[in-house]
Amino acid sequence: MKYIKKNLVRMAVFASFFAISLIYFSCSDSASPVEGQGQIKIHMVDAPADYDQINIVVNRVEVHQAINDSTNGWFIINNTPATYNLLTLRNGASVILGFNSLDAGHYSQIRLILGSGSNIVVNGVTYPLDVPSGEQSGIKLNHEFNIEPGVIYELLLDFDAEHSIVLTGNNQYKLKPVIRLVPMIISGTISGKINPPSAAGVVYAISGTDTMVTVAENLFGTFKFMALLQRTYNVQVFSADPAYNDTTITNVSVIAQHDTDLGTINLSIK
């Protein structure tokens, strides 16, 4: 735990310019629900990874109604193809993968049908990203949830890019998705600002055996953890500047649907 990935910190310089201008947007128009329907809204966020870009092409997003077999009962909530650079989806930035109406009932799976052209950029060089079965059967995510009439069910899809990429050979990269699915109603956030911004480095939120990681934006020193379950965390800040000490803030409480703002975290000089 006592290390800082230099490339992650370097990447924050590039990514900060995107994070400043990135706003929430929808990939599909939400159809107005009719009687007996509710709605589902899926947000996607990501943790940092030691690459320049990870670009995923998503052609379609579907959900599966539990009363049907594995072949039938799939409902499309977004069929507008889009490409997402996962590494811009951190520190509070996100995209909406789908927002649409569904019949009330019990659902059991979410499926992302990927398109051709996904790629990864490493040290300025672009390589194809192999996505096994992604264009045929899709990435299937088991997640039980209920749609209730007149209610929007919001879900955070937390993509762990760092652990989802496998180098299988000489510059051959494969996507093996590691994804958490967290209902927004039971999750909260932690945010803060590191001073001085030049020392903004890797930040960890640790609760028991669960560890979340982000890289603070070095332009302003800000950071934000998304999709945190309601519990107590220790927040560890590692300085990107060797002239400043690391620090840990203990017993940080996360409350569902709220942001725990740590304010300005002043790092001391060694």
Mean pLDDT (whole number) for 260-270:
97
Neighbour count for residue 261 (Cβ, 10 Å): 12
What is the C-alpha to C-alpha distance for residues 168 and 174, in angstroms, rounded to an integer?
Answer: 7
pLDDT tier, 94 (very low <50, low <70, confident <90, very high otherwise): very high
Mean pLDDT (whole number) for 72-99:
94
How far is the first Cα of the chain from the last one, in angstroms, to the nearest whole number? 20
pLDDT tier, 14 (very low <50, low <70, confident <90, very high otherwise): very low
Q: What angle do CA 231, 237, 243 make, to 5 degrees?
A: 165
pLDDT at 31: 58
Say if strands 187-195 and 222-229 run parallel, antiparallel, or are unpaired.
antiparallel
- Bridge partners of 252, per DSSP, are 233
What does the buried/exposed string (b/e) look like for 225-235 if buried means 16 or more CB atoms within 10 Å of the residue's CB?
bbbbeeeebeb
pLDDT at 134: 66
pLDDT at 35: 78
pLDDT at 26: 37
Cβ-contact 197, 221 below 8 angstroms: yes
pLDDT tier, 186 (very low <50, low <70, confident <90, very high otherwise): very high
Report whether pLDDT(27) > 70: no
Q: Which domains does the chain have, with CATH numbers?
A: 6-186 (no CATH), 187-266 (2.60.40.10)
